[in-house]
Amino acid sequence: MVEVVQDSPALGIQVREPAASAARVEHLVKRFGSGPVVLDDVSLSVRPGEFVCVIGASGCGKSTLLSLLAGLEQPDAGSVSVAGGRAALMFQEPALLPWLTAGGNVELALRLRGVPRRARRDDARELLRLVRLDGAAGQRPHELSGGMRQRVALARALAQRSSVLLMDEPFASLDAITRDVLHEELMRVWQETGVSIVFVTHNVREAVRLGQRVLLLSSRPGRVIESWDVDIAGTRRIESPSVAAQALEITDRLREEIRRHAA
């Protein structure tokens, strides 16, 4: 596996060595009120700069796991720790604030982080350039396409300068062509910034296409039941036979897990 050591002064993201974990959850338990247990004894550790994909059927608590990592929910038991305190989170919807321009959305993230006014505009431009949208800074969210909005959301998430980026099915509502392009874009941004990514999806191929490691969560309750290292050399595409082969193996395991609920 990759131990990533990267300094990216332009983006201010520093991943420290030696590789402590960028994010770690231990024996995590979460239930909502008196409902069923959503996450049961989940432990996982994300290395700095690592790209981890989490897959599972509906109701496996994937999104809950991200909410806990992002600090939006509190665990009932167990611990959550994220290097640098707070993780950035991207949703399935771009969730851009419609009263701000693309640049304004990124600048708000900088402002809430305490970046002084003078530096904000330049920093926002820099981040939009990273997702190749420097020309769209003055545009309103409704003037952008779905893929462009999600790239602005990515730039805004990166503006938080967290060492961990959580992504909750961020490409699920995009068309296949745009999703494919954004996969490449995300790989490029990941490599340029050295940020650790926890990427939740129900699309097994997408997980194998992107991740260095794929975790399978069981449903009701959610537990990490299997983990695969993705060892595919060379350029990965969603159509690659090697991606398809590993996705098939994981899908079979996922189906087995889903069948367990038939009884």
Binding site for another protein (CB under 8 A): 1-6, 49, 51, 70, 72, 86, 88-89, 91, 93, 95, 97-100, 108-109, 111-113, 132, 136, 140-148, 156, 160, 177-178, 181, 184-185, 187-188, 191, 194, 212, 229-236
Closest separation between CB of residue 130 and another protein, Å?
Answer: 12
C-beta of residue 102 within 8 angstroms of C-beta of residue 137: yes
SS (H, E, C) 21-73: CCEEEEEEEEECCCCCEEEEEEEEEECCCCEEEEECCCCCCHHHHHHHHCCCC
Taking the least distance from each CB to another protein, the nearer of 162 and 219 is 162
Instruction: Supply 110's token pair.
Output: 């900088």
Considering the complex, state which of residue 203 and residue 240 has its C-beta at the smaller distance from another protein: 240
| 113 vs 125 by CB, closer to another protein | 113
Q: At what angle do helices 146-158 and 176-193 cross, to 10 degrees?
A: 20
Q: Which is nearer to another protein, 78 or 146 (CB)?
A: 146
We find the least distance from the C-beta atom of residue 231 to another protein, in angstroms, to be 6
- Nearest one of 158, 243, 172 to 201, comparing CA atoms: 172
Least CB distance to another protein at residue 259 (A): 31
**Shorter beta-carbon distance to another protein: residue 145 or 260:** 145
CA distance 133 to 127: 9
Which of 26/134 has CB closer to another protein? 134
Neighbours of 248 (CB within 10 A): 13
Q: How far is the CB of 158 from another protein (least distance, A)?
A: 12
User: What are the angstrom distances between the C-alpha of 178 and each of 20, 148, 151?
Assistant: 35, 9, 11
Tell me the closest approach of the beta carbon of residue 186 to another protein, in angstroms: 11
Least distance to another protein, CB of residue 20, Å: 17
Distance CA 60, CA 54 (A): 10
Residue 163, helix vs strand vs coil: coil
